[in-house]
Amino acid sequence: MKVIYVLYICDINNSNDMLRIKEILKDKGITGKQLAKMTSVTPSTITNIVQERNFPKPDLLQNIAIALDVDIRDLFTPTKDTETDFNFKCPNCGTQLTVTSKK
């Protein structure tokens, strides 16, 4: 199954660190030039994306996620506190349970 995520962004110029590609590259020890080669784009394309001068199209976002071996959602700065999105309580004692993901 092929899933394509379509994003509608009103003002890309005010993205305020919307993408985490620079952070992921650093964490994985991959250069922008290497990512460019892995995704078949020019190094300047990756530079412009990382420096948030340009926003990649959905197909390039998908290729970047695949190249970096991350879920496409991990390329974005979270907009919600995902650790508190759930409201679970212990059925026996009623204690609030916190749900976190383990990577």
Confirm if 9 and 69 have CB atoms less than 8 A apart.
no
pLDDT bucket at 79, cuts 50 / 70 / 90:
confident
- CA 44/CA 22 separation, integer angstroms: 14
pLDDT tens-place string over residues 13-49 = 444 478 999 999 999 999 999 999 999 999 999 999 9
The pTM assigned to this predicted structure is 0.64
Domains of the chain: 12-97 (1.10.260.40)
pLDDT tens-place string over residues 42-75 = 999 999 999 989 999 999 999 999 999 999 999 9
Report the chain's terminal Cα–Cα distance, integer Å.
Answer: 23
